[in-house]
Amino acid sequence: MHHEIIISGFGGQGALFAGQLLAYAALAEDRHVTWIPSYGPEMRGGTANCTVIISDEEIGSPLVRNPTAAIVMNPPSFDRFEPLVKPGGVLIVNTSLVSSESKRSDIRVVKAQANELAAELGAAQMANVVLVGALVAATGMLKFETLDRVLDEHISARHRDKLDSNKAALRRGAALARP
């Protein structure tokens, strides 16, 4: 098993947290992991993305040119990363902000109105977690029980009141990606 993932959006959308969630869960499942954040000097409102590699084998390089999966949270991210997903890969699209349609027939595209789903759960800031749920369900790369445990262990004190909502957000996203 080897997954190379790019998660990208505007600063403040939680792309980096989504990557950390995947990385911590992979570590908890005794996998090899890399996580590399990248963001512009603007921070909030600018571009933020991260790459995560999860593998059963040692990882030779943390660089990802053609990911096996991508989560795109805004239009610039869609434009940049949709063409790079490997054939047979998965593209998770936040259709709350991205209206473009993929023209590719060689990848699986999962559409999620993540902002609206997160708002229904009580916090629009959880759109990133909805998208992570869709990714994990589409790929089977991690167990949801592990993600729950990682949320228990790593969610910050100021967001502790949203712990159950975050777990629900994972499940809402997963429901969109199951065949």
CATH number for the domain harbouring residue 135: 3.40.920.10
The alpha-helical segments, DSSP class H, found in the chain are 15-28, 75-81, 114-120, 127-139, 144-154, 163-177
Task: Supply the range of the domain harboring residue 162.
Answer: 2-177
Supply the pLDDT for residue 44.
Answer: 58
What's the domain count of the chain? 1
CA atoms of 159 and 122, how far apart (whole Å): 12
Question: Could you read off the pLDDT of 1-35 as tens digits, one per residue?
Answer: 999 999 999 888 889 999 999 999 999 999 999 99
- For the chain, what's the residue count? 179
Question: Could you read off the pLDDT of 39-59 as tens digits, one per residue?
Answer: 766 555 678 899 999 999 999
Hey, what are 169's tokens?
């957000």
